[in-house]
Chain A
Amino acid sequence: MSDETSRTSAIRNYLLGDLPESESEEIERWYFGAGRGVDEVWAVFGEIAEEYLSGDLSESESRRFEQKLRSSPALREMFENEKALHDYAARNTSGAPREVKTDNSTAGGRWKWPPPAAFFKPTRLMAAVIIAMISLGALVTWFGLRTREGVNPATLAQLPNVPPQNTAKDQKSPESATQPSVDPQRPHQSRHNANDKLATFLLLAAGTRGGQSDPPTLEIPARTDIVQLELELPNDNCAEFSAVLRTESNEELQRWGNLRARRDPSTLSMASLRVRADSLKNTGYVIRLDCVSPHKNLGASGEYRFKTEKK
């Protein structure tokens, strides 16, 4: 291992609070003496923060990092700034000159509530209110119909005569299927090309958790570019999540960090993520959702199983 690599590793442990006192002092003496030593420390801090936000930090490192942030208000501030920068870059990717030609609009998948104040300009706000009211009406109607039909997967456990697979195919929200998203609550999802065809599916907690014998099947319409999954959250105990999408054979397809919980007009607590439709096959998938909020609460993580069927 080179000196540089071992120093980076030592700085990492220093920032996670894992170094013995004598080694911590050694690192400190180094960055006080070296010209660019402090920059290296903050570069490593930025990398830890990035890994944390994208869910790439191991569970034990995540825990130590959270602990460090809790015990150091200044580091917490730096972390919040880091998050804001990530968010800014994500929101401004579509309009800026791109460094890489390939479309990575689904990668990262992070978005943040609330939207920036610029969103609250009167004209935009009025448009948002109108769209929100239309969405609310459509959702209320849809949920009303769903309840009357008795096909809400969340209630299936109490309806033994209804086979789960009969209901699972219908988890698509009809008003948003195959239409570009205009949900005012998620302004920077415009990172996707406006011409992308979007299919949105709602995965309810009770009907999609692991342990169900027949996970729901999501029917993806032909020519869909993006599949948006709205995950009903198990409870309101967590504000921020990371997620991993895997095939049933445990092959990892995509990760998301910094997914914000939001309360839908229907009063469901939800988190939203997007996947490119061409990366999905006709097979089974599992989404693992983990709470990454510093105010972490128990019972706020879970698994969502589903199958996809492309039309």
Chain B
Amino acid sequence: MVEGPINRLKIDNSLTLASFDSLLAILGPDRESAAMAYIDLRLALFTYFAARGAACPDEMADETINRGARRLSEGAQVTTENPSSYFYGIAYYVLRESLNSSNVLIPLSDDDPGPSTQTTPYDLIINDDERIESEVRYECLEKCLNQLDPEERELIVSYYRFAGAEKIENRKKLAARYDLSSNALRQKVARLRGRLAECVNDCRRSRAKPDLK
């Protein structure tokens, strides 16, 4: 099965037990709810770094959480009602530091002729690589879909069926079947998709590692 929240906690070595406890203490009244809040926080951080074009949003999310947890264990006080806002402030500086210390990805302007508009032998190689990549991704997706609960799997696959007016009609029926509003349905699917993406990315990484046997 796709991992539960507690198992998905990734604790950096630099995070001491004290700072980890401080982190859990502000995230929830008990370990289970704190773990759920941790996942929500990490997802918000990932979203922030991804939308801002960071190359490694996962690592930066971890770095942000570690910094925040360390400060908490050193006596920092969270003054906002929602602890996530405290981490948003830290994330801002983590992003700025990364932009200052590395080469930034600069989007090409629309009229930049740029190398990507030319067909080169390198592009052909990339296309072959992309084909292999997409095959691996598809296999991983199938594997990850099979790890979902049957009802969740049926929901997400059904959600993507059809096109145009039939797609809209299908989604209305799905919302009715699962007793959700249209908005709640799309958010539920978005969350499922996020879990799938995490599983697919883990699967692809494990495939990419050389066989050490």
Contacts and interface: CB of A to CB of B under 8 A. Distances in A.
Q: Answer whether A and B are interacting partners.
A: yes
Interface of A: 4, 14-15, 17, 28-29, 31-33, 35-43, 45-47, 54, 63, 67-68, 70-75, 77-78, 80-90, 92-93, 96, 98-100, 102, 104, 107-108, 112-114, 116-118, 236-237, 239, 255, 295-298
Contacts, number: 179
A71 B106 contact: yes
A237 B139 contact: no
Contact of A116 (B82, B108, B139, B145): B139
Given A107-B163, A114-B135, A237 B173 contact: no
Given A67-B108, A74-B57, A237-B119, 17 more contacts: A71-B105, A71-B106, A75-B50, A77-B201, A85-B141, A85-B160, A88-B157, A90-B161, A96-B161, A100-B162, A100-B173, A104-B164, A108-B164, A116-B142, A295-B127, A296-B116, A297-B118
A239 B88 contact: no
A234 to B, nearest CB: 13
A32 B116 contact: no
Given A70-B108, A93-B161, A46 B119 contact: no
Interface residues of B, number: 70
A239 B134 CA distance: 13
Contacts of B93: none
Nearest to B104: A71
User: For A43, A63, A70, A112, which residue has the most chain B Cβ atoms within 10 angstroms?
Assistant: A43
A210 B116 CA distance: 28
22 contacts: A32-B44, A41-B51, A43-B190, A46-B189, A70-B108, A74-B55, A74-B57, A80-B134, A81-B197, A82-B193, A84-B137, A85-B141, A85-B196, A88-B141, A93-B162, A100-B169, A102-B166, A108-B164, A114-B135, A117-B135, A117-B139, A295-B116
Interface in B130-156: 130-131, 133-135, 137-139, 141-142, 145, 154, 156
A84 B107 contact: no
A122 B54 CA distance: 42
A86 B137 CA distance: 13
B212 to A, nearest CB: 23
Contact of A107 (B88, B162, B190): B162
Contacts of A118: 142
User: For B40, B173, B191, B197, which residue has the most chain A Cβ atoms within 10 angstroms?
Assistant: B197
A118 B157 CA distance: 18
Contacts of A17: 107
Interface in B174-213: 174, 183, 186-191, 193-194, 196-197, 200-201
Contact of B47 (A41, A81, A255, A298): A41
B157 A89 contact: yes
Contacts of A90: 160-161
B141 A84 contact: yes
* Main SS at interface, chain B: helix
B197 A297 contact: no
B116 to A, nearest CB: 6
A189 B59 CA distance: 40
Contact of A100 (B55, B133, B166, B188): B166
Contacts of A31: 44, 47
A295 B135 contact: no
Contact of B166 (A40, A107, A116, A237): A107
A74 B194 contact: no
B73 interface: no
A-B pairs with lowest CB-CB distance, top 8: A89-B160, A108-B163, A74-B50, A107-B163, A39-B187, A43-B190, A42-B190, A71-B107
B19 interface: no
B84 interface: yes
User: For A42, A74, A77, A108, which residue has the most chain B Cβ atoms within 10 angstroms?
Assistant: A74
Contact of B190 (A29, A35, A46, A236): A46
A174 B159 CA distance: 38
B97 to A, nearest CB: 17
A259 to B, nearest CB: 13
B82 A32 contact: yes
Nearest to A116: B138
Contacts of B130: 239
B55 A73 contact: yes
B189 A99 contact: no
Contact of A32 (B49, B57, B88): B88
Nearest to A236: B119
Nearest to B164: A107
A275 B88 CA distance: 50
